[in-house]
Chain A
Amino acid sequence: MDQSVTLKIDGRDVTVPAGTTVLEAARMAGIEIPSLCNHARLLPAGLCRLCLVEIEKVRGLQPACASIVREGMVVHTDTPAVQHNRRMVLELLCTNHPLDCPVCDAAGDCRLQDYVFRYGRTTSRFVEEKRRKGKAIRLGPAVILDQERCVLCQRCVRFCEEVLDDRQLAVFQRGASSRISTMPGAVFDSRFSGNVVDLCPVGALTDRTFRFKARNWELTGLPSVCALCPVGCRMTEEGREGRLLRVRGREAPEVNDGWLCDLGRTGYGFTEHPNRLRHPLVRRDGHLEPASWDEALTALARGFGAVIEKAGPRAVAVLGSPRLTNETAYLLTRLARALGTGNVDYRLGTAAPAPAQATLSDLRQAEVILLFQGDPSEEAPILELWVKQAVKRGGRLYIVHPRTLALERYATGAYRPRPGSEAVLIAGILSMLEQGKPGSLPLEWREAVSGLGPTQVASLTGCDREAIRLLAEALVGSPRAIIAYGAGLRDEQTLALVAALAKATGARLLGWDGGPNSRGVADMGLLPDRLPGRAPLADAAATAALERLWQAPLSCQPGLSATELWPEMRRGEVRALYVAGADPVTQAPNPQLVEEALAHATFVAMQEAFLTPTAERFAHVVLPAAVPGEEDGSLTNLAGGVGWQRALIAPLGEARPSWRIVADVAKALAAPGAWEYADAAQVLAEIAQAIPAYAGVEVVTTGGYFDARYEYEYALTDQPPAAPAPARVAGTGDLALTTGPVLFDRDIMARHAPGVVGRAAEAFAAIHPEDAERLGITDGAPIEVRGLFGALTLKARVSGACAQGTVFVPEELSELSVNRLGAQPGVVVMVEVKPLAVRPD
């Protein structure tokens, strides 16, 4: 209903949409009605009574926050009674408030302070002794509570209830003794806990990493975008005197709607980590030693120059990372192609993203969601909230995942196919659809799935046949269905099937992997077989346009992927490697091969913020790169939305923005074309010219949102799919390895943030209780997990969330090379798990 209602507020006619509250209507008319408990993203509560106004023909003062406008309503916000009420409520609040503004984090940005100045009494009539309550209570890892400052607006409690649907905070006791707390003995450890600090209208809830660091009026802030997961939440960076001190959520209905997860909120502490690289390093006599930029770039030019001279440009490879900004990835692509090599990639055990077809707003309003091999809570946290919201609105959730997810209690159906049979499940649904409505699949797909009858699919996957049918029905039956695939989906075969399922059902795709900017980096062409904008190499028009733009002939030969690269390097075919933001020794699926290959390389140069194991052992030159917060750049989120990440502070020491390092390297290598850019925005302007779907993207530099969704063929049209069968099995153990990101221990950057350290569980492996009993493993005991390339010592977590016959190990763990276990796309790795003797002491 777009009906509007006209009412009179303080003598002014105001027209607002029906259903608006009086408080909101007044705000729209520029009339402030003070309120402490009201918040635009929470339901009206009517608790603080500060917003009481007079409404003609209604007896007594009414709460503006909870009164809905009516046609012809006459509201007065400034009568003696209203003024008396405001004065009184504020005086009452101050009776037991500590009035410690001089040491309060909120001072200068405090509703109570502002309102007392604006509407309150100048003196208090309270002569009693103030009531004492708890101070500096650590509610959880991120949030500290001062119960004396608390005005009990319950925004934090309501956030837990309404947004998280997880009542970790509540009001305890009653009357004047009321106080906010966790349940007795419980910890406020929600992944979203920090939002309550943003919501707190006073200084009762403070951020553990920020408190006492700065006064509000000393802070400068910039609107930015979080670079730590594929959601790309809109946030504000705040700091002073060259330090990034705080990150807060920013209103953005199309992305995070103001909420942030705790990784984003506390993860930027890495900017100040003592292990940051401050100078270029050059290897001399086997040791990396500090050098000037000139020395480092000269050494780099010499190293690459020698290889190109001897073995040609195709002996050079470029390895990027999904952590790079679009600008850095774009320039890396350009550098590689301009040098004449197609050996360029960023994927270490993941698949390039399929087209993003849904927005996050679509997800919030979806009728049917199939969550396929993704765990939003660990991989893209805000999506957990949006999935819950969709379900709350009546949407149905179906989950296909090897483990029981936190979201499973919202699911209509949950499927746990045997490890490696996920593709069979999808193919089975496709086959079912084709049976129900012949011709719904392209011919080659029809043949590929025709052999998969329901009985066979059920027996191969272990999933109930009828349940599979219900899932198929749900997907077909709704015009607002979304297939959301996550970081657990790593192989291109399965992804192609998922894309085909979306096409066949009319559901829209939304997908992510563990990398924050995978979609952007792939769009920028950091792929051996694609140009920027996903154009095939054979696209002559696209090639010609790029050659004009880049003023250089392009190498359009397909190059080596990051999987194919290592054997070729070991054989001496590829001799020089440039790595930006990746750590193949700990990230690539086959670390043994990678180490052998790197040992054979003639020259390895890296740009990175920290000294990674790869850099430490194999790099000849290491260039210190800026981190998020120190550099401008665009990021494309999982839904194809582009945002602009801002540099609030200067790069540490001699570190340079990543995109600039690539340009500097290009100039040092005398790569063809012009490499002078004043700033990252200029690179973005060029991206807008290079990639049709990004035309106009410059708007993001002023804080806007740019929708860069576009359609492209997702693989496999050139290679008709084989009939899906359960995945290949490797390894000798008897438990199938499953792996995936965990939120607080997933990335070299965030791992160096003090606010994140300690939030991840101790390096663990989860196994099913029955497997644990069989193997003699108890919860919390040390165990050894032996995989293809080595063994890890981990702490056992015995949990029914893990399917029987599987073991889950987080894909990245601090200080541990989990890739030694050998997890790789499309292969089921069987690992050996055994208890370790505990020394009796």
Chain B
Amino acid sequence: MDKFLLRNVGVPDSHHIEVYLSRGGYESWRRVLTSMQPQAVVDLVKSSGLRGRGGAGFPTGMKWGFVPQGVYPRYLVCNADEGEPGTCKDRVLMENDPHLVLEGIAISSYAIEAHLAFIYVRGEFTLSAERLEAAIAEAHAHGFLGKNILGSGYDLDIVVHRGAGAYICGEETALLTSLEGERGNPRLKPPFPATEGLYRKPTVINNVETLANVPLIVQYGAEWYKSMGTEKSPGIKLFALSGQVKRPGVYELPLGTPLRTLIEEYGGGTLENRPVKAVIPGGSSAPMLTAAHLDTPLDYESIAAAGSMLGSGAVIVIAEGTCIVSVVRRLIEFYAHEDCGQCIPGREGIAWLARILERIEAGQGREEDLDLLLDICDGLSGRSLCPLGDAVVGPVRSSLKHFRDDYLAHIRTGQCVQPVAVTIA
């Protein structure tokens, strides 16, 4: 199919403004500034049905509408702290097409009447941050940012802020706290960022990919956008395919494409053509699916109906022969390491899960540990200070549901019976 989000990826020097302009870049921005009121942009995005691509899938236009009337200043924050294991789609955009991201930020800032936007970039993404900073300088030089942009009277500055290596800062309130210069701890909601966010002012936080869709919607229209995907999950999506597949990578597909198509046609099938054992369809916190779910369409509703979530669209494929206990143990170790430590369920619960899983993997497990794992999950899910608790329980609960035998084998035999104990990073 035609590429839209990735249309410039692979073009030589695609990160430079000259290339971007030569391929029609900033035309949407020009059109918005010259012919659209902010509310018209909000309405356009609302009618396109665009949903947040960071993981929650919340309708973008509706989110913009939560900003209270008459309260200024407002801020737009681009969440570029892409840290969920398996997820690497935003990085591709930032490194290869930073101007598309900037154009999306500019149009969205205009829509919510913000004059200052921030891009919070994952600390490890050095190249992304450098390319964004260079692109901002180019955009200023070309008059697409700064004061009185293109003579419209509208001002906008964009600031790149690099994270310091904490996964939790991808959580929006932690991101704001970090952006304010504090330790990146999640904070209580309410107040929600839309009403009281950065510096206690109304703040809209959107994912990189979400924002990158906006210039396309302006360019081609809401109807075009809705013509792709499904009714409730319209449009296009980047899927970051990883795990035991032949061609891992970032693929642009309409929502609703079957999981099997992504794995087999785009990913070239599994390594050594082993049967699929499990698929994590939306980043490491999404519950695991099994080979029985391969024909599920990749859209928010279908994946939810199958018992998981589309999340960020990071699809991790696990082939037969792989020890699920090992996979889950590694994932939970990650979450235990990245937990902020503020709330007791998060701090003590995740660490305890990790230690039980380590013990089971090492052959020291007891059958009652499986109920204990589920009970701790009940203590985490919906009860932690931030959504991290919910992220953690996905792999644990789903693996116990679908792959209980892997656990029991460890417990009963005292060792791993699978040939591959995988370390995924």
Known contacts A47-B343, A60-B383: A176-B188 contact under CB 8 Å: no
Contacts of A61 in B (CB 8 A): 382-383
The answer to whether A85 touches B341 (Cβ under 8 A) is no
Q: Give the CA-CA distance A171 to B184 in the complex, in Å.
A: 12
State the Cβ distance, B390 to closest chain A Cβ, in Å.
10
Which of B228-236, B331-339, B404-412 makes up part of the contact surface? B331-339
Contacts of B375 in A (CB 8 A): 88
Contacts of A174 in B (CB 8 A): 166, 168, 338-341
Contacts of B355 in A (CB 8 A): 128
Which residues of chain A from 594 to 630 have any CB-CB distance to chain B below 8 Å in the complex?
A: none
The tally of residues in A whose CB lies under 8 Å from a CB in B reads 36
The answer to whether B352 touches A128 (Cβ under 8 A) is yes
Tell me the number of A-to-B contacts counted with CB atoms below 8 Å: 97
The answer to whether B347 touches A175 (Cβ under 8 A) is yes
1/0 per residue B368-380: CB within 8 Å of A? 1000100110110
The answer to whether B382 touches A60 (Cβ under 8 A) is yes
1/0 per residue A191-232: CB within 8 Å of B? 000000000000000000000000000000000000000000
Which residues of chain B from 351 to 393 have any CB-CB distance to chain A below 8 Å in the complex?
A: 351-352, 355-356, 359, 368, 372, 375-376, 378-379, 382-385
Q: Give the CA-CA distance A178 to B343 in the complex, in Å.
A: 11
Q: Is B349 an interface residue when CB atoms closer than 8 A count as contact? A: yes
Contacts of A175 in B (CB 8 A): 336-341, 346-347, 350-351
Q: Is A521 an interface residue when CB atoms closer than 8 A count as contact? A: no
Q: Is A48 an interface residue when CB atoms closer than 8 A count as contact? A: yes
1/0 per residue A145-184: CB within 8 Å of B? 0000001101000000000000000110111111000000
The answer to whether A89 touches B382 (Cβ under 8 A) is no
Q: Is B345 an interface residue when CB atoms closer than 8 A count as contact? A: yes
Q: Give the CA-CA distance A126 to B369 in the complex, in Å.
A: 10
Query: A93's closest neighbor in chain B, by CB?
Result: B344
Contacts of B384 in A (CB 8 A): 49
Which residues of chain A from 636 to 661 have any CB-CB distance to chain B below 8 Å in the complex?
A: none
Contacts of B349 in A (CB 8 A): 88, 92
The answer to whether A47 touches B336 (Cβ under 8 A) is no
Q: Give the CA-CA distance A88 to B344 in the complex, in Å.
A: 10
The answer to whether A176 touches B351 (Cβ under 8 A) is yes
The answer to whether B351 touches A49 (Cβ under 8 A) is no
The answer to whether A176 touches B341 (Cβ under 8 A) is yes
The answer to whether A152 touches B383 (Cβ under 8 A) is no
Q: Which of B183, B338, B344, B385 has the most CB of A within 10 A?
A: B344
Q: Give the CA-CA distance A49 to B388 in the complex, in Å.
A: 14
State the Cβ distance, A352 to closest chain B Cβ, in Å.
48
Contacts of B124 in A (CB 8 A): none
Q: Which of B339, B352, B385 contacts A126 (CB 8 A)?
A: B352
Q: Is B342 an interface residue when CB atoms closer than 8 A count as contact? A: yes
Contacts of B345 in A (CB 8 A): 49, 88-89, 92
Q: Give the CA-CA distance A512 to B346 in the complex, in Å.
A: 50
The answer to whether B339 touches A176 (Cβ under 8 A) is yes
Contacts of B301 in A (CB 8 A): none
Q: Is A6 an interface residue when CB atoms closer than 8 A count as contact? A: no
1/0 per residue A47-72: CB within 8 Å of B? 11110100000011101001000000
Q: Is B171 an interface residue when CB atoms closer than 8 A count as contact? A: no
Contacts of B183 in A (CB 8 A): 170-171
Q: Is B138 an interface residue when CB atoms closer than 8 A count as contact? A: no
Q: Which of B341, B356, B368, B372 contacts A152 (CB 8 A)?
A: B341
Q: Is A96 an interface residue when CB atoms closer than 8 A count as contact? A: yes
Contacts of A131 in B (CB 8 A): 351
Q: Is B348 an interface residue when CB atoms closer than 8 A count as contact? A: yes
State the Cβ distance, B169 to closest chain A Cβ, in Å.
11
Known contacts A128-B359, A175-B347: A92-B342 contact under CB 8 Å: no
Q: Is A774 an interface residue when CB atoms closer than 8 A count as contact? A: no
1/0 per residue A33-46: CB within 8 Å of B? 00000000000111
Interface residues on B, range: 20 to 34
State the Cβ distance, B247 to closest chain A Cβ, in Å.
35
Contacts of B343 in A (CB 8 A): 46-49
The answer to whether A89 touches B344 (Cβ under 8 A) is yes
State the Cβ distance, B325 to closest chain A Cβ, in Å.
17
Contacts of B378 in A (CB 8 A): 84, 88
Q: Give the CA-CA distance A249 to B384 in the complex, in Å.
A: 33
Q: Is A310 an interface residue when CB atoms closer than 8 A count as contact? A: no
Query: B348's closest neighbor in chain A, by CB?
Result: A92
Q: Which of A47, A50, A63, A173 contacts B342 (CB 8 A)?
A: A47
State the Cβ distance, B361 to closest chain A Cβ, in Å.
14
Q: Is A437 an interface residue when CB atoms closer than 8 A count as contact? A: no
Query: B385's closest neighbor in chain A, by CB?
Result: A46
The answer to whether B342 touches A85 (Cβ under 8 A) is no
The answer to whether A47 touches B338 (Cβ under 8 A) is no
Which residues of chain A from 76 to 131 have any CB-CB distance to chain B below 8 Å in the complex?
A: 84-85, 88-89, 92-93, 95-96, 125-126, 128, 131
The answer to whether B188 touches A63 (Cβ under 8 A) is yes
Contacts of B347 in A (CB 8 A): 152, 175-176, 178
The answer to whether A125 touches B348 (Cβ under 8 A) is no
Which residues of chain A from 326 to 378 have any CB-CB distance to chain B below 8 Å in the complex?
A: none
Q: Which of B337, B348, B385 contacts A93 (CB 8 A)?
A: B348
Contacts of A47 in B (CB 8 A): 342-344, 385
Query: B335's closest neighbor in chain A, by CB?
Result: A175
State the Cβ distance, A656 to closest chain B Cβ, in Å.
54
Q: Give the CA-CA distance A701 to B344 in the complex, in Å.
A: 44
Contacts of A84 in B (CB 8 A): 378-379
1/0 per residue B159-184: CB within 8 Å of A? 00000001010000000000000010
Query: B337's closest neighbor in chain A, by CB?
Result: A175
State the Cβ distance, A757 to closest chain B Cβ, in Å.
36
Q: Which of B188, B356, B379 contacts A46 (CB 8 A)?
A: B188
The answer to whether A173 touches B341 (Cβ under 8 A) is yes
State the Cβ distance, A45 to closest chain B Cβ, in Å.
8
Contacts of B188 in A (CB 8 A): 44-46, 63, 66
Q: Give the CA-CA distance A175 to B352 in the complex, in Å.
A: 11
1/0 per residue A669-682: CB within 8 Å of B? 00000000000000
Contacts of B339 in A (CB 8 A): 174-176
State the Cβ distance, B285 to closest chain A Cβ, in Å.
16
Query: A91's closest neighbor in chain B, by CB?
Result: B379
Q: Give the CA-CA distance A50 to B383 in the complex, in Å.
A: 10
Contacts of A63 in B (CB 8 A): 188
Q: Give the CA-CA distance A125 to B342 in the complex, in Å.
A: 23
Q: Give the CA-CA distance A46 to B375 in the complex, in Å.
A: 22
Q: Which of B351, B356, B368, B376 has the most CB of A within 10 A?
A: B351
Q: Which of A45, A52, A95, A173 contacts B352 (CB 8 A)?
A: A95
The answer to whether A88 touches B341 (Cβ under 8 A) is no
Q: Give the CA-CA distance A763 to B339 in the complex, in Å.
A: 48
Q: Give the CA-CA distance A698 to B74 in the complex, in Å.
A: 58
State the Cβ distance, B133 to closest chain A Cβ, in Å.
28
Query: B342's closest neighbor in chain A, by CB?
Result: A47
Q: Give the CA-CA distance A154 to B341 in the complex, in Å.
A: 11
The answer to whether A49 touches B337 (Cβ under 8 A) is no
Q: Give the CA-CA distance A170 to B342 in the complex, in Å.
A: 12
Which residues of chain A from 297 to 331 have any CB-CB distance to chain B below 8 Å in the complex?
A: none
The answer to whether B341 touches A50 (Cβ under 8 A) is no
Q: Give the CA-CA distance A44 to B372 in the complex, in Å.
A: 31
Query: B381's closest neighbor in chain A, by CB?
Result: A60
Which residues of chain A from 442 to 493 have any CB-CB distance to chain B below 8 Å in the complex?
A: none
Binding site for A on B (CB under 8 A): 166, 168, 183, 188, 336-352, 355-356, 359, 368, 372, 375-376, 378-379, 382-385
Among all A-B residue pairs, the 10 with the closest Cβ atoms: A178-B341, A88-B379, A176-B351, A92-B348, A175-B339, A60-B382, A46-B188, A174-B341, A128-B355, A175-B341
Listed by A's residue number, 8 A-B pairs whose Cβ atoms lie within 8 Å are A48-B343, A49-B383, A59-B382, A61-B383, A92-B348, A93-B348, A128-B356, A152-B344
Binding site for B on A (CB under 8 A): 44-50, 52, 59-61, 63, 66, 84-85, 88-89, 92-93, 95-96, 125-126, 128, 131, 151-152, 154, 170-171, 173-178
Q: A49-B345, A92-B352 are in contact. List 9 more A-B contacts (CB 8 A).
A: A50-B344, A61-B383, A88-B379, A92-B349, A93-B344, A93-B348, A174-B168, A174-B338, A176-B347
